[in-house]
């Protein structure tokens, strides 16, 4: 299984506009849902999404990162829309 640090570094590298892990977004493994959570924040606002294990593993191990990058990119876009409304 991927580590939190691996997932953080991969998100930072493929979606630099998401910011820095631990500052602009948080990553944690959710045991109940068997998925990674990515919590993106902008000031006091934040949005969270789940990244399935297989998506994280495919991105980290096989460089198949389109689903992960689309999901995090959409989360960033939605947060900006929510923040600016």
pLDDT for the residue numbered 81: 85
Residue numbers in the chain where pLDDT is lower than 70: 85
Say how far apart CA 28 and CA 31 lie, in whole Å: 9
Alpha carbon separation from 63 to 12, 40, 69, 83 (Å, rounded): 14, 22, 11, 32
pLDDT for the residue numbered 1: 80
30 contacts 56 by C-beta, under 8 angstroms: no
Q: Where are the domains of the chain?
A: 4-84
12 contacts 67 by C-beta, under 8 angstroms: no
pLDDT for the residue numbered 85: 66
Q: Is residue 44 classed exposed, middle or buried when 0-12, 13-18 and 19+ CB atoms within 10 A define those classes?
A: exposed
């Amino acid at each position: 299984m991927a580590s939190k640090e691996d997932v953080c570094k991969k998100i930072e590298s493929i979606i630099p506009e998401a910011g820095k892990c631990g500052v602009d977004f948080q990553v944690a493994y959710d045991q109940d849902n068997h998925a990674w959570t990515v919590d993106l924040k902008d000031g006091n606002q934040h949005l969270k999404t789940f990244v399935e294990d297989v998506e994280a593993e495919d991105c980290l191990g096989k460089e198949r990162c389109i689903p992960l990058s689309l999901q995090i990119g959409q989360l960033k876009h939605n947060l900006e829309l929510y923040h600016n409304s």
